[in-house]
Structure 1
Amino acid sequence: MLIHPWDAPQDDTEWQHWLAAHDFGQLAVNGPPGEPPLVQPLHFAYDPERGEAVTHLARPNPLWPALEANPQVVLSVVDDYVYIPGPWQADPDVPPEHGVPTSFYAAVQLRCTAHLVDDPTEKATLLNRQVGHFQPEGGTNPVAPGEPPNGRLLSGIRALRLEVTGVRAKFKYAGKRSAEVQDRIAAGLVGRGGVRDDVARGHLLRRREE
């Protein structure tokens, strides 16, 4: 992922705050020799204090042999993306039709070492951490090995503890454009009113003010 200086996070707090609200991504795993990477969409729970993310997958998942062969993976999260028409991006001294369209988006890539977990007690602990992240209000019985109602299901999954070893983050929101062009883009997003236009506009304005 190319990251220009104007698209880089202003500090670690920016990407950490964003990632705290985004817990669904894609896990990219090296495929067997001669084969493309394997990519698995999944929910995860990221813990910045532990420096790790936890998740789980069904035991028949084809990722397991690849992870055992090479535990170096990337967990990729992308959201808040919108299409920006060319005329919105045109510099003030050129015709609108000369503007170049682009994409706005936020992205965080966590480089991780994957630790496979099969011990039932440790697996239950990680699963309960993940469920607790998504259901802090409760409503689901904690999982314990051999205990009903969910303990018997532990054998059907394997847990993953993803130890974060590096982070690449990007916030592509017209950072190199003039204030006049940024204002035009912000107005265009308001007028269009698409699904992610408001949050994209928020990123543009926030990063300009900080």
Structure 2
Amino acid sequence: MFIQPWDASLDEDEWQAWIGEGHDFGQLAVNGLPGQPPVVVPTHFSVDGPDLLVHLARPNSVWKAIGEDPNVTFTVIGDYAFIPGPWRAPAGTLPQNGVPTSYYTAVQFTCRARIIDDPQAKADLLRRQLAHFQLDGDHAHVAADQPPYGRMLPGVRGLHLEVTGVVAKFKYDDHKPIEHRASVADHLTERGQGLDTAAAQQQRRRLDHVGPWKS
């Protein structure tokens, strides 16, 4: 992922906080088998210390590819919006001459995948994930030898993704003048489509932290 200096994460705390705010859905990318394209799987995930936990259906095509090469990438993208050209036109120029762009946050993990097939270990993984996704605990106990989950466990496999590297990108025009960034954030709030409000919040937050960009 190409990252301009002004788009880089301020520090590890920034991207970790963003993930912790509920950005827990991403894409697992696995090297394809010889002569085949990469396998990309959209899925929820949960955090396990510095690592990630995933479970997928046993028929998923990803397993054979992971068996050949356990080095994978997991990418999470959010708070994105299309920015029309007129919003980015420099002061004193025609609005139609402005260059459009995309705003977004992306966190990309490089990982080494370990497949989990042991029934007890899979049950433990699912308990950890349910503790994250169903905080109210409104689900049956997950045990390898008890219904309802016990009979379904053979149909899934777990993945422990050992994170070996992280890059994060917060692309919100931080190299532009303060007045420009504040104006675009206002436009996003006014338009209010899709993730416009979330993108505006990220831009304003970065504006408060970064201020005028200094190389």
Corresponding residue for residue 167 of structure 1: 166
How much does 1:38 deviate? Answer: 0.3
* Aligned-partner Cα distance in 2 for 1:183–1:104: 14
- Aligned partner of residue 142 in structure 1, secondary structure: coil
Corresponding residue for residue 137 of structure 1: 136
Corresponding residue for residue 179 of structure 1: 178
* Aligned-partner Cα distance in 2 for 1:24–1:191: 27
How much does 1:161 deviate? Answer: 0.5
Corresponding residue for residue 5 of structure 2: 5
* Aligned-partner Cα distance in 1 for 2:191–2:135: 36
- Structure 2 residue 86 is the aligned partner of structure 1 residue 95: no
How much does 1:156 deviate? Answer: 1.0
How much does 1:198 deviate? Answer: 1.3
CA deviation digits over 1:170-196, x for unaligned, max 9?
Answer: 000111111221122122112212121
Corresponding residue for residue 112 of structure 1: 111
CA deviation digits over 1:128-174, x for unaligned, max 9?
Answer: 10111101110112211121221111111111111110001100011
Count of residues in Structure 1 that have an aligned counterpart in Structure 2:
208
* Aligned-partner Cα distance in 2 for 1:150–1:167: 33
Corresponding residue for residue 31 of structure 2: 30
- Aligned partner of residue 151 in structure 2, secondary structure: helix
Instruction: Note the residue ranges of structure 1 that are not aligned, 5 or more in a row.
Output: none
Q: Partner amino acid for 2:181? A: Q
CA deviation digits over 1:90-125, x for unaligned, max 9?
Answer: 111322111100000000011110000111111111
Cα RMSD of the aligned pairs, angstroms, is: 1.0
Corresponding residue for residue 212 of structure 2: none
- Aligned partner of residue 141 in structure 1, secondary structure: coil
User: TM-score, length-normalised on structure 1?
Assistant: 0.96
Instruction: Note the residue ranges of structure 2 that are not aligned, 5 or more in a row.
Output: 210-215
